[in-house]
A and B are shown apart, each in its own frame.
Chain A
Amino acid sequence: MTSSVTLERHKYDVLIIGAGGAGLRAAVEAREAGLSVAIICKSLFGKAHTVMAEGGAAASMGNVNDNDSWMVHFRDTMRGGKFLNHYRMAELHAKEAPDRIWELEMWGALFDRTKEGKISQRNFGGHEYPRLAHVGDRTGLEIIRTMQQKIVQLQQKDGREFGDMEAKIKVFAECTITEILKENGKISGAYGYWRETGAEVLFEAPAVVIATGGVGKTFKITSNSWEGTGDGHALALKAGANLVDMEFLQFHPTGMVWPPSVRGILVTESVRGEGGILTNSEGERFMFKYIPDVFKDKYADNEAEADRWYEDQDNNRRPPELLPRDEVARAINSEVKAGRGTEHGGVFLDVSKRIPAEVIKKRLPSMWHQFYELAGVDITKEAMEVGPTCHYVMGGVEVDPDSAAAIGVPGLFAAGEVAGGMHGSNRLGGNSLTDLLVFGRRAGAGAAEYVKNNGANPVSDAAIKSAADRIEAPFSRAGGENSYSLHAELQEVTHNLVGIIRTRVELEKAIEMIADIRARSKNVAVSGGRKFNPGFHLAFDLDNMLLVAESTAKSALLREESRGGHTRDDFPGMNPKWRQLNQIASFDGDKVNIKSQALPAIRKELFDLFDIHELEKYMTPEEIAKGGSN
């Protein structure tokens, strides 16, 4: 129990929750606008999930191919998102990405270079030109470190001016926010606890930027770290903001499901391209059963022909293992559900029996090395156990594109993976890192502007008391539920019923089961004390994940089509009518409600960037006839 007399209190102009790429970029912007900034992160400073991004940061600098421009990048992004993107976000992103990359260079980032000494750019799926600025395969690390060091630079400057490096910008590491506080309908601050001591802490600030990243830990198999528990999504929902299009999650069909040391890690498509085959627990090469009619003339229906393809691609049809991602995922999903999966809920992917070990090591060096080093799995000798893995959430807080302000909550801003709209129904590789930078900066600027126009908004004792009571609750319950097992149960439900392939029946069942787990989570009790107690920490994360799972399941139930990161087995194919609608989730204090809302119509000059025949695939004839919004 913390009385309001001894409660640790901090006052800042802007509070930033999350210290990944977006949060740090927002912090820099807000500080440079002259405001005082607190950065809060659940982990140590610099450990955010951004470090995991390997490929690069997409920006149309045109260093490798000067035909590239923001218009081409914009087109690629809209196509990738199947035109469900908020056009304005895609536009801002494409236009501002190059400046954000160059700016990093001014802060000390060292990207790989072209021969002319410019920033090198590489090709990536869905991008028409080589566009990804990169540093080997650790681009995310470079970006986060650069911004970390930029913040140190700002602190050193403050140190010279105010005699205290932390006078105007301070990092609060290993601190969890449990509630965003409002007074009179506007943001007033946030409440949370130090992970180290369990002591409670109040931050008073008229503006809060949420930059908490993704939701992967809601699922059993994920490439996300423990932090990806949808905190920001849930905090925003509870503060009265909306989540947009939470049904869109990026899954990869072949992630490792076993052993646990590599669970969730992606197995690239090239493993199948090099001759890897998928088999079920009965040893059957099952993909032949799952070739859709439209692909019959392109894919081999027997093993002999499929095997010949690797040698002679002109006279044979491709092996069915190389079907599009969603088809492969659907097939794996069906096999596992029919009881022919491995004991860990995947199928086997094997290259070892078909290709000599030296060839595998030569053609798939990083794959071989990664699994060997992390798990002792030698893919040249044994089969991998794979299944769909959750990678990225496209959905998120509904924001105003220009200021990153959360719709409906004055003073609240959101940027990065936690914000929705930018990527539509599917994100292109490389767009995430620049998304963080572009909208992180805009959120920082938006918050600064808001603070200048709205003064401090003091937190009331009543708000503090209710937030404090919530933190105390798990300790005062006896017996009760264990947060670890409830989390495992939730992951089982989402993995099986809200995963990569969905149906009405399963989603309805999932919604019921999630509600049940939520009811039981009210009885979670925690053993041990407050000091760095992971069981206690998980109790709050669990609450957030339950809200996220509910939003996803309910949005997915409503969207009766398949598009990008949302596949309905009972509604295959895209439906132009659904393209005009976003699913908006809101929270009434008890449950999540979903409503459909019209997507903002694309501006005429952006509409005109596309070939009309391409648009016909996505839009209704009426929309085409209108030709954009103005």
Chain B
Amino acid sequence: MARKLNLRIWRGDSTDGGLKDVQVDVNEGEVVLDVIHRVQATQMGDLAVRWNCKAGKCGSCSMEINGKPRLACMTQVASFDENETITITPLRAFPIIKDLVADVSFNYKKAMEIPAYEPPKNLAPGEARMEQIDVERSQEFRKCIECFLCQNTCHVIRDHEENKKSFAGPRFFIRIAELDMHPLDILKNRKRTAQEEHGLGMCNITKCCTEVCPEHIRITDNAIIPMKERVVDIKYDPARMFAGLLKREKRN
């Protein structure tokens, strides 16, 4: 049942590194993470890789497989040609730590910059009432497993290191959208700060974040574009411009 599989695995750290060829057994029905584990247990005991649940629910085993940002636990070996060499590298938008492990701390820093949920004053626990149709939009974004594949694939920071300071990235645009659409959140200036502080305007909606999302969250259509439209509401809307409402909106 087992056959041989040719892999090229990136090994190294911030000083240097390169792709190493490895041949390993593979069984029917295995995913790339299984094969990496076999390499680890039999040939490279110190091969660094992150993983946790191995069921597509925690978003730890993010890496690039044949150049595509993917979860190793959700990538079946059978999806490649039998004699194809599979190339596995760490995420390329973030600093390298070692082998397949990249330093994703950027994302945790950004998470701390998004203003937290603010419930209505005087709402006692247990008293909240929300309709299902009002929570559904935000619930879609809360499916996010924080694998950071969207952050990794986004060219705004992948190709431009200098943009990291001013760009929160798709993962946090869905966080902002989630809060702005949260039926009880009362913080008013999320739209403006999304544009002016978190770099929403940097996004040129090329949709790679949506393409790589393992949870199939429609990041661009359901979060980023609606947020851009909400920004237009307060900053560039024709009707409001003519009505001179723009100045008044600034207070929000």
* CB-contact partner of B54 in A98, A261, A485, under 8 A: A261
Q: Is the CB of B76 within 8 A of A261?
A: yes
B5 at the interface (CB under 8 A from A): no
A270 in the interface (beta carbon within 8 A): no
Q: Check: B244 CB closer than 8 A to any chain A CB.
A: no
B99 contacts A by Cβ under 8 Å: yes
With A149-B117, A261-B30, A377-B29: A47-B46 Cβ-Cβ less than 8 Å: no
Decide: B45 and A118 in contact? CB cutoff 8 A. Answer: no
* A window 126-152: CB within 8 A of B: 135-136, 138, 141-142, 145, 148-150, 152
CB contacts under 8 Å to A, within B41-71, are 41, 45-60
- Asked if A259 contacts B29 (CB within 8 A), the reply is yes
Stretch of B128-136, B149-157, B229-237 at the chain-chain interface: B128-136
CB pair B131–A45 under 8 Å, yes or no, is no
The reply to whether the CB of A621 lies closer than 8 angstroms to some CB of chain B is no
CA distance A323 to B119 in the complex (A): 49
A113 CB, nearest partner CB in chain B, Å: 4
> Which residue in A226, A373, A536 is a CB contact (below 8 Å) of B46?
A536
Q: Which residues of A contact B177 (CB under 8 A)?
A: none
B52–A227 touching, CB < 8 Å = yes
Which stretch (B137-145, B197-205, B220-228) binds chain A?
A: B137-145
> Is A46 touching B73 in the complex (CB atoms < 8 A)?
no
How distant is A14 from chain B, measured CB to nearest CB, in Å? 20
User: Which one of B81-89, B108-116, B159-167 is at the interface?
Assistant: B108-116
B98 within 8 A of A: yes
Chain A 95-125 residues near chain B, CB threshold 8 A = 98-99, 102-103, 105-108, 110, 112-113, 116-118
Q: How many Å lie between the Cα of A43 and that of B182 in the bound state?
A: 29
**With a CB–CB cut-off of 8 A, which chain A residues contact B145?**
51, 141
* CB proximity to B under 8 Å, residues A358-390: 373-377
Q: What's the minimum C-beta distance from B248 to chain A, rounded to whole angstroms?
A: 27
A302 contacts the other chain (Cβ, under 8 Å)? no
Interface range on chain A (Cβ under 8 Å from partner): 35 or more
Question: For A227, what are the chain B residues with a Cβ–Cβ distance below 8 Å?
Answer: 52
**Chain A residues with CB under 8 A of B55:** 52, 262, 265, 374
> Given that A138-B143, A152-B111, A374-B73 are known contacts, is A99 also in contact with B125, CB under 8 Å in the complex?
yes
Are B52 and A118 within 8 A (Cβ)? no
Interface string of B199-217 (1 = CB under 8 A from A): 0000000000000000000
A502 sits at the interface (CB 8 A): no
A106-B125 in contact given A261-B31, A261-B34 (Cβ < 8 Å): yes
Residue B243, interface by CB 8 Å: no
Residues of chain B lying within 8 A (CB to CB) of residue A527: 45-46
Contact A135 B142 (CB under 8 A): yes
A528-B117 contact given A105-B125, A108-B182, A141-B57, CB 8 Å threshold: no
Within 8 A of B (CB), among A459-513: 482, 484-485, 488
Cβ–Cβ contact B60 & A44, under 8 A = yes
Tell me if A260 is interfacial: C-beta within 8 Å of chain B. Answer: yes
Q: How many angstroms from the CA of A221 to the CA of B82 in the assembled complex? A: 29
Check A51/B53 contact, CB under 8 A, given A43-B60, A117-B129, A377-B29: yes
> Which listed residue (B34, B74, B123) contacts A260, Cβ 8 A?
B34
A374/B31 contact (C-beta < 8 A), A156-B112, A534-B40, A534-B48 known: yes
User: With A47-B59, A110-B135 as given contacts, are A52 and B53 in contact (CB-CB < 8 Å)?
Assistant: yes
User: Binary interface profile of A, 29-56, with partner B (CB < 8 Å = 1, else 0)?
Assistant: 0000000000000011111010110000
Closest to A117 in B: B129
Q: Is A208 an interface residue (CB 8 A)?
A: no
Rounded to whole Å, the gap between the CB of B88 and the closest CB of chain A is 15
Q: Is the CB of A47 within 8 A of B129?
A: no
In the complex, the answer to whether A261 meets B29 with C-beta atoms within 8 Å is: yes
- Kindly list chain B residues whose C-beta atoms are within 8 Å of the C-beta of A150: 116
* Bound form: Cα–Cα A373–B78 in Å: 11
CB pair A47–B13 under 8 Å, yes or no, is: no
B residues in contact with A52, CB < 8 Å: 53, 55, 57-58
Closest CB of chain A to B64's CB: distance in Å?
18
Nearest chain A CB to B71's CB is how many angstroms away?
Answer: 10
Kindly list chain B residues whose C-beta atoms are within 8 Å of the C-beta of A531. 13, 48, 97-98
A438 to chain B, nearest CB (A): 15
Within the assembled complex, what's the spacing in Å between the Cα atoms of A1 and B185? 51
Q: In the complex the two chains form, is B29's CB within 8 Å of A153's CB?
A: no
Nearest B residue to A103 via CB reads: B125
* Residues in chain A near residue B58, CB distance under 8 A: 43, 47, 51-52, 225
Question: A115–B122 Cα gap in the complex (Å)?
Answer: 23
A529 within 8 A of B: yes
Residue from A44, A105, A261, A488 within 8 A of B104 (CB atoms): A44
Tell whether A593 is near chain B: CB-to-CB under 8 Å.
Answer: no
Contact B74 A374 (CB under 8 A): yes
A residues in contact with B33, CB < 8 Å:
261
For chain A, residues 147 to 200, give those with C-beta under 8 angstroms from any C-beta of chain B: 148-150, 152-153, 155-156, 165, 171, 173, 196
Residues of B within 8 A of A108 (CB): 116-117, 119, 179, 182, 185
Q: Select A51's contact among B57, B97, B115, beta carbons within 8 Å.
A: B57
Q: Residue on B with the closest CB to A224? A: B53
Answer yes or no: A532 CB below 8 A from chain B CBs: yes
Does A43 contact B115, Cβ atoms closer than 8 Å? no
Contacts of B103 in A (CB 8 A): 196
B57 and A153 contact, CB distance less than 8 A:
no
Which of B13, B108, B126, B142 contacts A145 (CB under 8 A)? B142
A394 at the interface (CB under 8 A from B): no
List the B side residues contacting A46 at CB < 8 Å: 146
- Which residue of the partner chain, among A155, A259, A533, contacts B48 with CB atoms under 8 Å? A533
Could you tell me if A153 and B129 are in contact, using CB atoms closer than 8 angstroms?
A: no
Known pairs A43-B50, A117-B131; A165 contacts B112 (CB<8 A): yes
Chain B residues positioned under 8 Å from A236 (CB to CB): none
Contacts of A103 in B (CB 8 A): 125
Task: State whether the Cβ of A535 lies closer than 8 Å to any Cβ in chain B.
Answer: yes
Cross-chain contact of B117 among A136, A153, A526 (Cβ < 8 A): A153
B97 A532 Cβ-Cβ under 8 A: yes
**Most chain B Cβ neighbours within 10 Å, of A52, A102, A225:** A225
A110 pairs with B139, CB closer than 8 A: yes
Known: A105-B125, A259-B30. A373 touches B45 (CB 8 A): no
B101: interface (CB < 8 Å): yes
14 A–B contacts, CB within 8 A, in A order: A51-B53, A52-B53, A108-B119, A108-B182, A110-B182, A225-B53, A227-B52, A261-B29, A261-B30, A374-B31, A374-B73, A532-B99, A534-B49, A535-B40
Q: Which residues of B contact A (CB under 8 A)?
A: 13, 27-31, 33-34, 37, 40-41, 45-60, 73-74, 76, 78, 97-99, 101, 103-104, 108, 111-112, 114-117, 119, 123, 125-126, 128-132, 135, 138-139, 142-146, 179, 182, 185
Given contacts A196-B98, A259-B34, A375-B29, 7 further A-B pairs with CB under 8 A are A44-B60, A106-B128, A113-B130, A152-B116, A374-B76, A531-B97, A533-B45
